[in-house]
C-alpha cells in the first residue's frame, strides 16, 4: 500500500436516517476526518452518538446523506467491492455451521482462492491467533475470547489494508479483554494495517490508539481529536501516570452538557 492517499478521508459528511419522514434521525453532522495509512485510531462517544454508524459508513454498509467518503483514495462502495477492508463486530458473527478453519477461509472462498492456498492461509492465521489446534472445531466448542480471535483472523484472511472493528472486545471479561488488546497491538505491529476501532471504554481507546476521536451525543460531531503518544505499549503502560493523564483528558472531553431534548 502506498501512502499517497489517506486510508480514510471523510469530507463534510452528514448522515440522516429516514430523511424527511416522521421518524427522521439526524445521526452524524459535518464530519471531517482523515485517517493516515498504518495508524490505529479509536472512535469513542456516548451510546447512540453514531460511532458505529460512522464505521458502517466507512465500510459502505450504509451511505452518507451529504458529503463524501474515500477509502484508500476511492469511493467507499468501490473499496467494498475491491475488498479493501476487513470487519469485526462485537458478536463474533462466526457461522456455527462452519468449522474454525472454514470460517477463516470463507472470504477466501468467496474470492475464488484455491483450496491449498486457503488452507495455507488459515493455518498461518491460526498460528497468529495462537489457536493452531482448533481448525477442525466448531465455534460452539470455543470460548467467547477464542471466537473473537477467530473473527479477527477471518477479517485479516484476505489481507485487507484496513480493519474496521466495532467494539470487538465489548462482550469479553476484563482479563481476557486486556490480553486481546495486547494481541491486537501485536498483530497491528506485525502487519502494518490501518485500524479504526469503535469502543466505549476510555482506557481501551487510550491503550490501543495513536489517536482518539471523541464524538458528541447525537447528532454525532467530532468533539475532540486527541493524539496519544505513549510509545510501545508494555505491561507497565497501564500503570504509567501519562496513561492516566490521557484517560483523564478523554474523560473530560466526553463531559457534554445535558442536551435540552
Partner 1 sequence: MTSRFLKAAGPAVILGVGGVLLWEIAMRVIQPEGFVLPAPSEILAAFAENAGDIWTATVNTGYIVITGLVAGVILGLAWALAVSRFRIANETLTPLGIMLNAIPIIALAPIFNAWFGLLSPVSNQAIVVILVFFPIFINTTRGLTSIDATEHELMRSYAASKWDITREVRFPNAMPYFFTALKISASLAVIGAIVAEYFGGRQDALGPLIVQNAGLTRYAEAWAAVLAGSILGILLYLAAGAIERASMPWMSSVSASG
Kindly state the cell numbers that stand for 146. Answer: 477464542
| Residue 73 in the binding site for partner 1 (CB under 8 A) | no
Q: Where are the beta strands (DSSP E) in 97-238?
A: 162-166, 194-198, 211-215, 222-227
- Among 38, 37, 32, which residue's Cα sits nearest to residue 64? 32
Whole-number Cα distances in Å, 15 to 28, 57, 236, 247: 5, 9, 41, 29
| Residue 50 in the binding site for partner 1 (CB under 8 A) | no
Residues 133-152 close enough to bind partner 1 by CB under 8 A: 137-144
Question: What kind and span of H or E run contains 40?
Answer: strand 40-44
| Residue 197 in the binding site for partner 1 (CB under 8 A) | no
| Residue 113 in the binding site for partner 1 (CB under 8 A) | no
Piece of the chain touching partner 1 by CB under 8 A; list 6-14, 92-100, 196-204, 233-241: 92-100
Shortest separation between residue 106's beta carbon and partner 1, angstroms: 7
Shortest separation between residue 87's beta carbon and partner 1, angstroms: 4
| Residue 23 in the binding site for partner 1 (CB under 8 A) | no
Shortest separation between residue 53's beta carbon and partner 1, angstroms: 12
| Residue 107 in the binding site for partner 1 (CB under 8 A) | yes
What secondary structure does DSSP assign to 101-138, as a single string? Answer: HHHHHHHHHHTT--HHHHHHHHHHHHHHTT-TT-TTS-
Is residue 204 a contact partner of residue 220, using CB atoms and an 8 Å limit? Answer: no
Piece of the chain touching partner 1 by CB under 8 A; list 22-30, 132-140, 181-189, 241-249: 132-140
When the beta carbons of 60 and 214 are compared against partner 1, the nearer one is 60
When the beta carbons of 193 and 246 are compared against partner 1, the nearer one is 193
Residue 219, preceding peptide bond in cis (omega within 30° of 0)? yes
Q: Cell 474496521 identifies what position?
A: 164
Q: Cell 474515500 identifies what position?
A: 70
Shortest separation between residue 88's beta carbon and partner 1, angstroms: 9
47: left (phi over 0), alpha (psi -120 to 50) or beta: beta
When the beta carbons of 129 and 202 are compared against partner 1, the nearer one is 129
User: Number of residues in contact with partner 1, rule: CB under 8 A?
Assistant: 29
Binding site for partner 1 (CB under 8 A): 56, 59, 61, 80-83, 85-87, 89, 91, 93, 95-98, 106-107, 110-111, 137-144
Amino acid at each position: 500500500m502506498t501512502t499517497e492517499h489517506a486510508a480514510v478521508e471523510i469530507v463534510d459528511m452528514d448522515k440522516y436516517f429516514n430523511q424527511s419522514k416522521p421518524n427522521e434521525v439526524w445521526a452524524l453532522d459535518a464530519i471531517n476526518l482523515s485517517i493516515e495509512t498504518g495508524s490505529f485510531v479509536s472512535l469513542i462517544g456516548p451510546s447512540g452518538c453514531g460511532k458505529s454508524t460512522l464505521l458502517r459508513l466507512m465500510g459502505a454498509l450504509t451511505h452518507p446523506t451529504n458529503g463524501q467518503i474515500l477509502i484508500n483514495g476511492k469511493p467507499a462502495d468501490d473499496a467494498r467491492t475491491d475488498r479493501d477492508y476487513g470487519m469485526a463486530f462485537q458478536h463474533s458473527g462466526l457461522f456455527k455451521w462452519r468449522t474454525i478453519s472454514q470460517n477463516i477461509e470463507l472470504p477466501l472462498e468467496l474470492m475464488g482462492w484455491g483450496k491449498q492456498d486457503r488452507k495455507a492461509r488459515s493455518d498461518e492465521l491460526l498460528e497468529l491467533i495462537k489457536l493452531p489446534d482448533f481448525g477442525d472445531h466448531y465455534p460452539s466448542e470455543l470460548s467467547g475470547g477464542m471466537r473473537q480471535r477467530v473473527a479477527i483472523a477471518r477479517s485479516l484472511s484476505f489481507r485487507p489494508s484496513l480493519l474496521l472493528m466495532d467494539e470487538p472486545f465489548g462482550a469479553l471479561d476484563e482479563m481476557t479483554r486486556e490480553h486481546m488488546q495486547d494481541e491486537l497491538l501485536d498483530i497491528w505491529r506485525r502487519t502494518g494495517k490501518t485500524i479504526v476501532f469503535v469502543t466505549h471504554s476510555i482506557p481501551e481507546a487510550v491503550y490501543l490508539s495513536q489517536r482518539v476521536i471523541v464524538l458528541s451525543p447525537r447528532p454525532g460531531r467530532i468533539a475532540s481529536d486527541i493524539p496519544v503518544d505513549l510509545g510501545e505499549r508494555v505491561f507497565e503502560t497501564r500503570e504509567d501516570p501519562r496513561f492516566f493523564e490521557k484517560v483523564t483528558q478523554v474523560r473530560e472531553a466526553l463531559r457534554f452538557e445535558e442536551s435540552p431534548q
